[in-house]
């Protein structure tokens, strides 16, 4: 069975600093996508960044970047220059291209302190 594990239930970071959220996954599939989603308090879930498994280059979206280690099945999210608006629950997610089912990790609650 495919699983996604986020080992950090809660993290905090000072404004303007950098923080890394960890995610590991388990699958026997070779074609899949990985995502980080953000769910701010009482607000809608939004996509932060995506990574295709066949791409070796790590995805980057402005202050957000990933470290994708396919062999280790690791997919961490780095947030640079943290802002107060980054305070949210962050979910790591996996989908294989033929399964039509997204598996989410338990989430990491991130607090950005002023």
Residues forming contacts to other proteins in the complex (CB under 8 A) are: 33, 35, 37, 44-47, 50, 91, 95, 97-107
Nearer to other proteins, 33 or 111 (CB): 33
Least distance from other proteins to the Cβ atom of residue 38, Å = 11
Least distance from other proteins to the Cβ atom of residue 45, Å = 4
Nearer to other proteins, 59 or 79 (CB): 59
**Residue 12 DSSP symbol:** E
Nearer to other proteins, 48 or 112 (CB): 48
Q: Is 86 in a helix, a strand, or coil?
A: helix
């Amino acid at each position: 069975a495919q699983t996604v594990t986020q080992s950090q239930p809660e993290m905090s970071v000072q404004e303007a600093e950098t923080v890394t959220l960890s995610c590991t996954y388990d699958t026997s599939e070779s074609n899949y996508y990985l995502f980080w989603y953000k769910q701010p308090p009482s607000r809608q879930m939004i996509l932060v960044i995506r990574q295709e498994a066949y791409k070796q280059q790590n995805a980057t979206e402005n202050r957000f970047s990933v470290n994708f280690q396919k062999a280790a099945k690791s997919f961490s999210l780095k947030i640079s220059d943290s802002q107060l608006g980054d305070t949210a629950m962050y979910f790591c997610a996996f989908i294989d291209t033929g399964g039509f089912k997204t598996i989410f990790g338990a989430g990491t609650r991130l607090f950005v302190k002023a």
